[in-house]
Amino acid sequence: MSLKKVIFLVFGIMLCGSCIDRVDIKIPDNANSQLVVDGIITDAPGPYTVRLSRASRIAEFLNFRKFITVKSVILFDNVGNSELMTEVQTGTYQTKAGGIQGVVGRKYAIKIEMQDGQVYESVPDIMNPVGEVDSLYYKLETFQPISDPTRYGLRVFADSKGLREGANLFRWKFSGTYLIYTFPLLHTKSQDGFSCVPDPRSCGGDGPYGSCTCCTCWVTEYEAEPRISDNQFVSDGVFRNVEIGYVPVEYFSFQNKYRISVELMSLSRTAFDYWKIIQTQKEGASSLFQPPTGKARTNVFEKNGLGEAVGLFYASAIKKKHLYVTRAEVSTQLTAIRIPHWNCEIGLIAEDCRLAFPFSTTTKPVDWE
């Protein structure tokens, strides 16, 4: 074999090997793990919350955020008020009830000291005034899938007034809450190949109306993406037919009644630009022709350093409005919906209500009607 053929053979073996062998690069623990900040102060009574985390590695089972404990988090304004926030659970810091209070016209910021002494501080954000939510209403929609039963939903809209002379940079925050009744004593499990073996939950007590501690829950559903608006296409600060959200008409969520809630939140230009990019990213993710959006800019930076965080701390004045939709108002649609099974029961939730749905609580909302 000639020298040239030997060289080509060796080179070919090297190339083949490079296609098979995995190259592991050691990444430091602190690499690709920026500080993530999520916090707000409003003009409503506190406590106010700041959540701190770090972005973790993709290889760690897609667990992108790790909540962290820091040395201190201080909330302060531009007139000399400040408060040391308390960690109520890992990475979640809150002010005291009756502590610092948000005031329209003031600027607010946070100072974060990390365990290693590194300090981050947010750019002070002004709390602008907000308008009023005049009305909430919905339109019933029907959707017929190709092979599934007909589906129904409520498309929710709002009318509101902004400020005649203001920029009217707003975020519309949508959520829905409903009451469920469950029957944990009817819970079953599969055993030895047989289903429907009785397995009552201990919290069921003597039944749903006796000593049961997990038979009644309030479930909250949150918006899939933020919705923002400004003075564009608005006359004299009056907003009409602003689409807020969508509520599927489903059997269990309309056992009793469903509360639609909207918060009209004032934004500074910094906060508005941040949420606008987030909204565009969310909308573009479902589009075949996703537009370029850029990076959502933070307002939290390392003090006396070059580092920056991810996320935002901002100030907002808020006005809320609720709309209750009763079971009777959608009874025709519910009659047309197939009654669902839960374990071996039909139309009854045979489970601890806290386990039946995410974001469930046995604590009645203070403003529930």
Structure tokens at 151: 């589906």
Q: Model confidence over 316-330: pLDDT tens digits?
A: 999 999 999 999 999
Domain boundaries, the chain: 35-126, 132-266+318-361
> Is it the case that residue 77 has pLDDT exceeding 50?
yes
Q: Model confidence over 256-272: pLDDT tens digits?
A: 999 999 999 999 999 99
Cis peptide before 47 (omega within 30 of 0): yes
pLDDT (0 to 100) of residue 123: 95
pLDDT (0 to 100) of residue 280: 86
Q: Is the pTM of this model over 0.85?
A: no
DSSP for 290-331, written as a single string: PPP------SEEETTSS-B-EEEEEEE-EEEEEEEEEGGGGH
pLDDT (0 to 100) of residue 166: 75
pLDDT band at 12 (very low <50, low <70, confident <90, very high): very low
**Mean pLDDT computed over every residue of the chain:** 84
- 35-126 CATH pick, 1.10.530, 2.60.40, 3.30.1940, 3.40.1000: 2.60.40
Read off the pLDDT of each residue in 134-156 and give the average, rounded to a whole number.
Answer: 91
Among the listed residues 182, 283, 162, the one whose alpha carbon sits nearest the alpha carbon of residue 226: 283
* SS3 (DSSP) at 14: helix
pLDDT (0 to 100) of residue 20: 37
Cβ 50 vs Cβ 38: under 8 Å: yes
pLDDT (0 to 100) of residue 92: 96
> Side-chain half-sphere of 135: how many Cα atoms within 13 Å?
6
How many of the other CB atoms lie within 10 Å of CB of 98? 9
Phi, psi of 275 (to 5 degrees): -70, -25
DSSP for 59-81, written as a single string: TTTT--EEE---SEEEEEETTS-
Lowest mean pLDDT among 15-19, 195-199, 211-215, 337-341: 15-19
> Is it the case that residue 151 has pLDDT exceeding 50?
yes
Lowest mean pLDDT among 99-108, 288-297, 340-349: 288-297
Q: Model confidence over 107-139: pLDDT tens digits?
A: 999 999 999 999 999 999 999 999 899 999 999
